[in-house]
Structure 1
């Protein structure tokens, strides 16, 4: 009984802890050109980022320039700083030093809400809310039914919905429990297709799904985001071999950057070593 009481009071303690969390401050301009970002160029200049002032930097002196419409694969070991790049781009954590530019505009000069509305993201754990399919695809009533069905068609979900006699008013349970993980990921992809933003970030989006659905998602991304800048934080190295550029992260730094085939052909490159290690691992 003492153990039970202790565990329940720890829950109460945590609830009190959540009450004192600082609310994210809204800074920056909330008015920019509607067409921004028009090209999707991303530039990091001498970026240093800490999650807290008393912690060591998770990103150290990051410099790179991603050109419009480039497909970039970001690879590295656990803790290398891959997801921290996305956190800096979305301003989930403000950088300590340096500049992050999107189409030559400093993102700190733009409000967080506006900035995030201009970027599309598909995370590792797909996010669906309790409500209708229509609400999950278009929570702000910005698109027509025809556009939503077209997005579902693009991710190969329309046929299944029609076969089950389901409409856009289909009820989705909390966290999308009435869909498989792969189907939830496809619905999140349909949401990104609807928004038609110039920048898409995939944060290990295919890490928890089977290889056939992974291939389906990669094909859909190639077809629908051909004129967009796509950043893929990779879980499987083979998913980024088709990219224009590979960005190798290590200990919060950019270790190397280049075309995948160029890096693979160099036996001393970190990327080629990672490829060799992956091919040897199953036999070990």
Structure 2
């Protein structure tokens, strides 16, 4: 009887964790509305791709320290901006803020002069493109991974695959665009998964593109393909590149250095490199020492 009672009590205690999780999820604050019907952006927004942070601060949840602190800078149309900083400085948090994964504690983010917080989440996120560090593919066809809302023609999809240097590989599959991608894209190499994400961004061709350390986990050959394609196909777009390999931002128009969540430096790469006391110069020197 004692043995039975202990086992019953253990099973009941284990089962209570399910209830505890259900209560926790029920109490979670929900995201903002996907669409605000009486306040939607124009179909053509953004037309220029101006990105501006105004005294922006954010934290991951209430009670935690700010991860972005009073950040202010402006990116002009079609500029290519490299975002650098030490590990934990807040580079990826800036991306999360732009896509409203985390919300503002104070300040504003403006795109073409429009405050993104007055629009619904779908209206904001659908107007931006991102190539993430960890490429996200879903179980489904190649077509569904590139065009989940069925908004583009086959010709558009093949053009994007050609630009991403992946069309020849997809043509080797009997099913072509109907070739099934396993969950997480496990039947593609890491480089091919990243090229599919590149093709997805090319197909959408948003005015603002974010590269979140997109080439950190791939070989140099694929890195070069991605860099060349972005320079050629997104020359009329604003590109924000969160850099893991610092050489990828040397040819940027501007470099933004974040330190402990704050804006430390914002200037051209040439000016920052000329100043031996700048954080960017020190990061470059440290990278060269590690490479040796």
Q: TM-score, normalised by structure 2?
A: 0.90
Conserved? CA contact 2:173–2:179, under 8 Å: no
> Match of 2:30?
23
> Per the alignment, in what secondary structure is the counterpart of residue 141 of structure 1?
coil
> Match of 1:81?
90
Q: Aligned residue pairs: how many?
A: 281
In 1: Cα distance, 2:169 partner to 2:137 partner: 18
Choose 61-70 or 261-270, whichever is displaced more: 261-270
Given the superposition, is the C-alpha separation of residues 106 and 12 from structure 1 closer, same or farther in structure 2, using an over 3 Å criterion?
same
In 1: Cα distance, 2:83 partner to 2:188 partner: 29
Gaps of 5+ in 2: 1-6
Match runs of 1:1-284 below 5 Å: 12=18, 16=22, 17-18=24-25, 20-26=27-33, 28=36, 30-283=39-292
Q: Which runs of 4+ in 1 moved over 3 A?
A: 8-22, 27-30, 163-166
Deviation at 1:128, TM superposition (A): 0.6
In 2: Cα distance, 1:227 partner to 1:205 partner: 20
Conserved? CA contact 2:49–2:237, under 8 Å: yes
In 1: Cα distance, 2:118 partner to 2:262 partner: 25
In 1: Cα distance, 2:26 partner to 2:189 partner: 34
Given the superposition, is the C-alpha separation of residues 266 and 224 from structure 1 closer, same or farther in structure 2, using an over 3 Å criterion?
same
Conserved? CA contact 2:32–2:120, under 8 Å: no
The CA deviation string for residues 85-123 of structure 1, in whole angstroms up to 9 with x for no partner, is 111111111111111100000111111111000000111
Conserved? CA contact 1:38–1:198, under 8 Å: yes
The CA deviation string for residues 1-28 of structure 1, in whole angstroms up to 9 with x for no partner, is x9xx9xx879858854556543313175
> Per the alignment, in what secondary structure is the counterpart of residue 216 of structure 2?
coil
Gaps of 5+ in 1: none
Given the superposition, is the C-alpha separation of residues 15 and 41 from structure 1 closer, same or farther in structure 2, using an over 3 Å criterion?
same
The CA deviation string for residues 22-60 of structure 1, in whole angstroms up to 9 with x for no partner, is 331317555221110000001111111111221111111
> Per the alignment, in what secondary structure is the counterpart of residue 177 of structure 2?
coil
In 1: Cα distance, 2:21 partner to 2:218 partner: 33
The CA deviation string for residues 173-227 of structure 1, in whole angstroms up to 9 with x for no partner, is 1111110111011001101111111000011111111111111111111111000
> Per the alignment, in what secondary structure is the counterpart of residue 61 of structure 2?
coil
Q: TM-score, normalised by structure 1?
A: 0.93
Choose 21-30 or 65-74, whichever is displaced more: 21-30
> Per the alignment, in what secondary structure is the counterpart of residue 176 of structure 2?
coil
> Per the alignment, in what secondary structure is the counterpart of residue 81 of structure 2?
strand
Larger Rg belongs to: 2
Conserved? CA contact 1:137–1:148, under 8 Å: yes
In 1: Cα distance, 2:68 partner to 2:94 partner: 8
In 2: Cα distance, 1:223 partner to 1:35 partner: 22
Conserved? CA contact 2:211–2:240, under 8 Å: yes
> Match of 2:3?
none
